[in-house]
């Protein structure tokens, strides 16, 4: 089982605490073997896995997992959507703070729909960190077609001020706009061929999907010469789909969690209200 995460900043958590909470959440989640049948009391009982006071180091932010041949992805990436969505004023500062040596973050996750990838480009170039040391993920909106997929990444690279990204995702499985009146399955398959083309051109080091269910993945795998490296979905101890994880594992697809710490919307899960999370946070309240 493989889970990597992206998370958005919370105003009341320091970057170091955010790293530690997320790393330990993933470890606790995997150790506990949580499933939807578990009660909240059983979730809270895993607190015995974290009784000691811990110290967060930059190593926590730079641990990696292999997602494709020759491609290692940081276990944690800073998501620039979520609380940042529509608030461009905080993006550059957040990315610079994440990349700062005190935190050591190297994974950054953005998307065309976030309308802030240009600020990510400004921030990473200001940081002075060599491009090859930073892992940049971006997403095109959904199954938009073969040529549209290529054009979308070409334009994103200009805004990101880079010649390549490390991971390129299809943000959603269903089209918002379908002027050619193709079926969603047909568009998903056509779009995946566009994803494989940008991989072939070297514009991205790996390709994947986001918010895909099992049937969406099967549609893609029917025509894939290169399987998705990643499926990025909502996943945390409160909200998760174990069957999807099992399917991804069987197909060699890394599952990446968004909102691993939950969020303000109930559909994201009230993770930060769990006693175990408060306990971990308190251990870093020096």
* Residues involved in catalysis: 114
Closest by CA to 169, choosing from 231, 100, 93, is 231
As a three-state string, the secondary structure of the chain is CCEEEEECCCCCCCHHHHHHHHHHHHHHHHHHCCCCCCCHHHHHHHHHHCCCCCCCCHHHHHCEEEEECCEEEECEEEECCHHHCCCHHHHHHHHHHHHCCCCCCCEEECCHHHCCHHHHHHHHHHHCCCHHHCEEEEEECCCCCHHHHHHHHHHHHHHHCCCCECEEEECCCCCCCCCCCCCHHHHHHHHHHHHHHHHHHCCECCEEEECCCHHHHHHHHHHCCCCCCEEEEECCCCCCCHHHHHHHHHCCCEEEEECCCCCCCHHHCCHHHCHHHHHHHHHCCC
Place of tokens 């896995």: 49
d(CA 83, CA 11): 9
Side-chain-facing half-sphere of 53: CA atoms under 13 Å: 5
């Amino acid at each position: 089982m493989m889970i990597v995460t992206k998370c958005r900043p919370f105003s009341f958590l320091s970057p170091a605490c955010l790293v530690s909470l997320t790393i330990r959440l993933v470890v606790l989640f995997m150790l506990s073997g949580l499933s939807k049948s578990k009660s909240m009391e059983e979730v809270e009982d895993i607190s015995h896995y974290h009784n000691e006071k811990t110290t967060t180091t930059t190593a926590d932010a730079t641990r990696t997992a292999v997602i494709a041949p020759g491609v290692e992805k940081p276990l944690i990436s800073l998501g620039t959507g979520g609380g940042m969505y529509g608030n461009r004023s905080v993006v550059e500062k957040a990315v610079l703070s994440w990349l700062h040596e005190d935190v050591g973050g190297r994974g950054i996750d953005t998307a065309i729909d976030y309308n802030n990838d240009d600020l990510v480009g400004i921030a990473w170039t200001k940081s002075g960190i060599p491009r090859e040391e930073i892992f940049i993920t971006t997403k095109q909106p959904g199954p938009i077609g073969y040529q549209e997929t290529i054009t979308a990444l070409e334009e994103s690279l200009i805004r990101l001020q880079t010649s390549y990204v490390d991971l390129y995702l299809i943000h959603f499985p269903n089209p918002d706009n379908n002027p050619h009146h193709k079926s969603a399955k047909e568009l998903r398959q056509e779009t995946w061929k566009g994803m494989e083309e940008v991989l072939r051109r070297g514009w991205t080091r790996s390709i994947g999907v986001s918010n895909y269910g099992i049937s969406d993945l099967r549609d893609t795998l029917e025509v894939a010469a290169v399987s998705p490296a990643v499926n990025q979905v909502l996943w945390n101890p409160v909200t998760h789909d174990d069957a999807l994880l099992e399917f991804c594992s069987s197909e060699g697809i890394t599952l990446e969690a968004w909102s691993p710490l939950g969020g303000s919307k109930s559909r994201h899960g009230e993770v930060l209200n769990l006693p175990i999370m408060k306990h971990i946070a308190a251990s870093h309240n020096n």
